[in-house]
């Protein structure tokens, strides 16, 4: 997968291992779901920035852990004969990930990668609004996390 990782604010950083694991998770999802040539943007951010995005795009006035914006759901025109699929954008709050990792009793790495996988599955069309869809998405999340060797 052709993955671009950005930071907002730009002063945020992550260690090399987490950066490498984020890229590995994107590549693994690409291989599993047949989108190896897709383009993906991941933004690692803080609660303030994700709160603003959540309010602007979803009308929810609070921070959240992950947001996904699928390119195929946008109003962008179709590009004929395109050889690369653009999946979309995944935005992850590192602050929420740290708090949730502590709350759930697992590592920060595990939480960030789980949120990434969750966001990527949304880009691929999975959802969790209805129970049946939620069960399917949870099953896919477990499968991907197991494939990555990142368990609870």
Let me know if domain 2-148 sits in CATH 3.40.390.30: yes
Domain extents for the chain?
Answer: 2-148
CA distance 79 to 81: 7
CA distance 65 to 152: 18
Closest to 117 (Cα-Cα) out of 75, 45, 65, 49? 65
- Looking at residue 55, its pLDDT comes to 97
Query: Mean pLDDT across the chain, nearest whole number?
Result: 92
With pLDDT > 70 as the criterion, what percentage of the chain qualifies? 91
Task: Identify each DSSP E strand in the chain by its residue range.
Answer: 2-8, 39-45, 66-70, 86-93
The 10s digit of each residue's pLDDT in 80-111 is 555 558 899 999 999 999 999 999 999 999 99
Output 73 or 67, whichever has higher pLDDT: 67
């Amino acid at each position: 997968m052709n993955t671009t990782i950005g930071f907002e604010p730009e002063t945020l950083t992550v260690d090399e291992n987490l950066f490498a694991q984020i890229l590995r998770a994107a590549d693994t999802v690409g291989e599993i779901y047949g989108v190896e040539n897709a383009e993906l943007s991941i933004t690692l951010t803080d609660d303030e920035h994700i709160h603003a995005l959540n309010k602007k795009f979803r009308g929810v006035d609070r921070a959240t852990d992950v947001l996904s914006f699928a390119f195929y759901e946008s109003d962008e025109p179709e590009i004929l004969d395109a050889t690369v699929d653009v999946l979309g954008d995944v935005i992850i709050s590192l602050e929420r990930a740290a708090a949730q990792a502590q709350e759930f009793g697992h590592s920060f790495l595990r939480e960030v990668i789980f949120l990434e996988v969750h966001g990527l599955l949304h880009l691929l069309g999975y959802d969790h609004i209805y129970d049946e869809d939620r069960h399917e998405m949870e099953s896919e999340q477990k499968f991907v996390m197991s494939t990555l060797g990142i368990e609870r």
